[in-house]
């Protein structure tokens, strides 16, 4: 049997498969997913792949062996186009030296364990499936297919669709809360902090809305576990708001109020604003929020009423 000849330093697909130790179908899949560049074609049906292509493929093979999902690999490689496997290893080592709160999203992906990566891949897929199909119509089969794993693998990490749904809610809410905290920066004024966090909540509301709809639909159907979960979420968010209200009272910029009652009211306002944002294409969220903050500070009283108080 004669060996296929290379053209310069280039290889045909069969040679690339042999050099990388990957099936042709896998390489074609990586190309279709945008992880690899389109090959140079000498003829319509003849493509050649150079050493740069092979090195990139070997990096992807290494990342995949560590449990990274396609979406995660693409995010990392779009920002950091490593030239060799050692570049990827160095990147992971540097990321692991950083504090958790200092990590970029792609750096965080690099520091996860294989089990964490597999779990997050399932939850990423679940987020998409639940947002498109809704909780009731989504299936574990749908989630497994979206994640690129078997249904059995999903059940290795989660006992049921309900468990996956709850984990997806927790992860999404944690992301929003983390982003809200980061939006404040060095700001010390409690009212300003409330406004910044509120804007963050509204900008992320579309990520949360489908979950709330799924929760309430199941609650109306008598699902006691999800009723408790919804109550837990509401209490958690209210407590998060209470912190700034009580800080404002301490600073003297917020009058003495029942901080929990006001927190529930603010949460309701934020939900209404977020829904308005979803329904009206040209809705000016910042302007609306400025008016809400003004209302919070002055209520319905006229300036003359405030002077006589």
pLDDT digits (tens, 9 = 90+) for 83-92: 999 999 999 9
Q: Assign domain 119-158 to its CATH superfamily.
A: Homeodomain-like (1.10.10.60)
Going by pLDDT thresholds of 50, 70 and 90, the confidence category of residue 271 is: confident
What does the pLDDT read at residue 305?
Answer: 56
Q: Which tokens in the block code for residue 135?
A: 């909780």
Domain 163-309 of CATH type 1.10.357.10: yes
Residues whose CB falls within 8 Å of the CB of residue 141, separated by 6 or more in sequence, listed in order: 151
User: What count of other Cβ atoms lies within 10 Å of the Cβ of residue 155?
Assistant: 14
Predicted model pTM: 0.69
Segment 22-50 mean pLDDT: 85
Segment 253-273 mean pLDDT: 87
**Domain definitions of the chain by residue range:** 119-158, 163-309
What does the pLDDT read at residue 42?
Answer: 67
Residue 16 has pLDDT above 90, yes or no: yes
Residue 3 has pLDDT above 50, yes or no: no
Q: What is the CA radius of gyration of the chain?
A: 26
Going by pLDDT thresholds of 50, 70 and 90, the confidence category of residue 1 is: very low
Closest CA to 196 of 209, 210, 177: 177
Residue 292 has pLDDT above 80, yes or no: no
Segment 159-179 mean pLDDT: 92
Residue 5 has pLDDT above 70, yes or no: no
DSSP letters spanning the chain: -PPPPPBTTBB-HHHHHHHHT--HHHHHHHHHTTSSPPPEEEETTEEEB-HHHHHHHHHHHHHHHTT--HHHHHHHHHH---SSHHHHHHHHHHHHTS-GGG--HHHHHHHS-HHHHHHHHHHHHHHHHHHHHHHHH--HHHHHHHHTS-HHHHHHH-SSHHHHHHHHHHHHHHHHHHHHHHHHTT---HHHHHHHHHHHHHHTHHHHHHHHHHHHHHHHTT-HHHHHHHHHHHHHHHHHHHHHHHHHHHHTSS-S--HHHHHHHHHHHHHHHHHHHHH-TT--HHHHHHHHHHHHHHTT--HHHHHH-
- What residues does 301 pair with on adjacent strands? none
Residue found under tokens 């609306």: 288
Residue 126 has pLDDT above 90, yes or no: yes
């Amino acid at each position: 049997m004669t060996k296929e000849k290379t053209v310069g330093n280039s290889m045909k697909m069969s040679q690339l498969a042999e050099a990388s130790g990957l099936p042709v179908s896998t390489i074609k899949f990586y190309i279709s997913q945008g992880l690899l560049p389109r090959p140079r074609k000498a003829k319509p049906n003849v493509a050649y792949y150079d050493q740069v292509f092979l090195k990139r493929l070997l990096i992807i093979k290494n990342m995949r062996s560590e449990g990274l999902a396609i979406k995660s690999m693409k995010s990392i490689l779009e920002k950091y186009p490593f030239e060799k496997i050692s570049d990827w290893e160095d990147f992971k080592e540097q990321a692991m030296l950083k504090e958790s709160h200092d990590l970029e999203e792609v750096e965080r992906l690099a520091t996860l364990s294989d089990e964490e990566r597999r779990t997050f891949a399932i939850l990423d897929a679940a987020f998409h499936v639940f947002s498109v199909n809704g909780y009731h119509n989504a299936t574990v089969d749908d989630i497994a297919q979206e994640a690129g794993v078997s249904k059995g693998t999903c059940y290795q990490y989660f006992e049921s669709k309900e468990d996956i749904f709850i984990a997806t809610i927790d992860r999404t809410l944690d992301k929003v809360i983390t982003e809200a905290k980061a939006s404040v920066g060095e700001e010390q004024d409690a009212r300003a902090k409330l406004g910044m966090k509120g804007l963050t909540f509204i900008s992320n509301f579309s990520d949360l809305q489908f979950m709330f709809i799924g929760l309430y639909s199941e609650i109306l159907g008598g699902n006691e576990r999800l009723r408790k979960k919804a109550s837990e979420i509401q209490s958690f968010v209210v407590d998060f708001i209470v912190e700034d209200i009580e800080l404002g009272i301490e600073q003297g910029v917020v009058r003495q109020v029942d901080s929990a009652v006001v927190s529930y009211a603010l949460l309701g306002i934020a939900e209404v604003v977020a829904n308005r944002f979803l329904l009206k294409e040209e809705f000016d969220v910042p302007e609306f929020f400025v008016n809400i903050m003004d209302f919070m500070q002055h209520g319905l009283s006229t300036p003359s009423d405030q002077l006589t108080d």
